[in-house]
Chains A and B, each alone.
Chain A
Amino acid sequence: MIDCSEIRPLLSAFGDGELEPPELLKVARHLAGCPDCEREAADFSALGAGLRDSYEAALNAIPLDGFAEAVQARIVQLRPSFVARFQRWLASLDDQFSPALSFASAAVAVAVLTAIVLTPYVRDYMSGRNPQIAANAYHHLNAITQEPRLPEKMLAEDSRAVISKLESENPAVAVWSEPHTDTTVIWLPDQQAGR
Chain B
Amino acid sequence: MRKPSRPEGDEAELIERASKGDAEAFGVLVERYQRRVVGVALAVVHNQDDALELAQETFVRAFQNLPKFESRSSFSTWLYRIAANIAIDFRRHAGRHSILRGEEAEAEIGRLPSSHGDSFRAVARSELSHRIQEALKELTPEHRAVILLREVEGLSYDEISEVLQCPRGTVMSRLHYARNRLRVVLKDLDRD
Within 8 A of A (CB), among B1-40: 20-21, 23, 26-27, 30-31, 34-35, 38-39
Query: Do the beta carbons of B20 and A58 come within 8 Å of each other?
Result: no
Instruction: List residues of chain B with CB within 8 A of the CB of A78.
Output: 60, 63-64
Q: Kindly specify which of A86-94, A97-105, A146-154 makes contact with the partner chain.
A: A86-94
Complex Cα gap A18–B158 (Å) = 10
Interface of B, secondary structure class, is helix
Query: Do the beta carbons of B60 and A12 come within 8 Å of each other?
Result: no
Q: Does B172 contact A (CB under 8 A)?
A: yes
Instruction: List residues of chain B with CB within 8 A of the CB of A52.
Output: 151-152
Query: Do the beta carbons of B27 and A50 come within 8 Å of each other?
Result: no
Encoded as 1 (CB less than 8 Å from any B CB) or 0, chain A from 71 to 95 comes to 1101110101000100110011000
A73 to chain B, nearest CB (A): 10
Q: Does B52 contact A (CB under 8 A)?
A: yes
Query: Do the beta carbons of A9 and B26 come within 8 Å of each other?
Result: no
Query: Do the beta carbons of A71 and B152 come within 8 Å of each other?
Result: no
Complex Cα gap A137–B169 (Å) = 76
Query: Number of A residues contacting the other chain (C-beta, 8 Å)?
Result: 44
Complex Cα gap A24–B50 (Å) = 40
Query: Do the beta carbons of A71 and B150 come within 8 Å of each other?
Result: no
Complex Cα gap A58–B86 (Å) = 20
B22 and chain A: residue at smallest CB distance: A88
Query: Do the beta carbons of A71 and B60 come within 8 Å of each other?
Result: yes
Q: Does A129 contact B (CB under 8 A)?
A: no
Q: Does B51 contact A (CB under 8 A)?
A: yes
Query: Do the beta carbons of B157 and A43 come within 8 Å of each other?
Result: no
Instruction: List residues of chain B with CB within 8 A of the CB of A42.
Output: 119, 121
Query: Do the beta carbons of B121 and A46 come within 8 Å of each other?
Result: yes
Query: Do the beta carbons of A53 and B125 come within 8 Å of each other?
Result: yes
Given contacts A18-B157, A75-B60, contact A47 B183 (CB under 8 A): yes
Instruction: List residues of chain B with CB within 8 A of the CB of A91.
Output: 20
Query: Do the beta carbons of A13 and B56 come within 8 Å of each other?
Result: no
Pick the residue among A16, A43, A72 that contacts B121 (CB under 8 A): A43
Given contacts A51-B152, A55-B42, A75-B60, contact A4 B115 (CB under 8 A): yes
Instruction: List residues of chain B with CB within 8 A of the CB of A51.
Output: 132, 147-148, 151-152
Query: Do the beta carbons of B176 and A39 come within 8 Å of each other?
Result: no
Given contacts A71-B30, A75-B60, contact A62 B21 (CB under 8 A): no
Q: Does A57 contact B (CB under 8 A)?
A: yes
A91 and chain B: residue at smallest CB distance: B20
Query: Do the beta carbons of A68 and B39 come within 8 Å of each other?
Result: no
A46 and chain B: residue at smallest CB distance: B121
B161 to chain A, nearest CB (A): 11
A24 to chain B, nearest CB (A): 14
Q: Does B156 contact A (CB under 8 A)?
A: yes
A67 to chain B, nearest CB (A): 5
Q: Does B179 contact A (CB under 8 A)?
A: yes
Instruction: List residues of chain A with CB within 8 A of the CB of B63.
Output: 75, 78
Query: Do the beta carbons of B20 and A72 come within 8 Å of each other?
Result: no
Complex Cα gap A57–B126 (Å) = 10
Encoded as 1 (CB less than 8 Å from any A CB) or 0, chain B from 158 to 192 comes to 00000000000000110110010011001000000
Query: Do the beta carbons of B55 and A18 come within 8 Å of each other?
Result: no
Q: Does A59 contact B (CB under 8 A)?
A: yes
Q: Does B43 contact A (CB under 8 A)?
A: yes
Q: Does A116 contact B (CB under 8 A)?
A: no
Within 8 A of B (CB), among A16-48: 16, 18, 36, 39-40, 42-44, 46-48
Chain A contacts to B: CB under 8 angstroms: 4, 9, 11-13, 16, 18, 36, 39-40, 42-44, 46-55, 57-59, 61-62, 64, 67-68, 70-72, 74-76, 78, 80, 84, 87-88, 91-92
